[in-house]
Amino acid sequence: MTSRKPIIITGAGQRLGLACAKALIAQGNEVIITYRTERKGVAELKALGAHCIQADFSSVAGVESFVSAILHQYSALGGIIHNASEWLSETEGEDSAVLMEKMWQVHVFAPYRLNLAFEPLLLAGYEVSGYADIIHMTDFVAEKGSDKHIAYAASKAGLANLTHSFSKRFAPQVKVNAIAPSLLMFNNDDDEEYRQKALSKSLLRKSPGEQEGVLAVQYILSSQYMTGRTLSLDGGRHLA
């Protein structure tokens, strides 16, 4: 993987995105990350040599600004990992139309626009190194649905469908796959009752941590014979 052109990871200021960025940098890859809010993780990635670009994908203008920045600074890419996400529910009092628009904007439009805008760069990256990938971070709920996060689940399902369409468009040069996590890690403020309830939803009854997602990313990037597929990281939750 170290012969790749730069890899973009969106929303990499914390949690899984941050872990993936650190792992890819450690393997010798040049990494570009986006972040919306300044966090400790962004400073850590800057210190490691990542190109960190502030970008807000909740608006078309924010997406276009990022597209313009990349097209002006790079002529080839080795991959895009679409990790940027919003976790909002219908129970939080936001207008339903606004909520759906925001979820669709971040989870569907932004990856759609970036994939199309950077198509020439990905193809150029493939020509140089023989590698180019797109990874969509979807979610377990894209398949099952959610009564409390309806717009979120619908938009993640839309992102999952983009995996199929773009794998057809970009074949055979660029592989396009998805990762669908369920519970990988808890937030620090999650109480014990919530943790136990969440763990009971899967057969393996554990939260494996962000490293499970990192391993999935590394597998997809190293694979030479998988496209249009989804790796499900759910601990057997679909059978529980």
Catalytic residues: 152
Strands (DSSP E) found in the chain: 7-9, 31-35, 51-54, 79-82, 133-137, 175-181, 230-233
What does DSSP say about strands 79-82 and 133-137: parallel, antiparallel, or unpaired?
Answer: parallel
Strand order in the sheet with 133-137: 51-54, 31-35, 7-9, 79-82, 133-137, 175-181, 230-233
Task: With beta carbons less than 8 A apart as the criterion, state whether 132 and 123 touch.
Answer: yes
What does DSSP say about strands 175-181 and 51-54: parallel, antiparallel, or unpaired?
Answer: unpaired
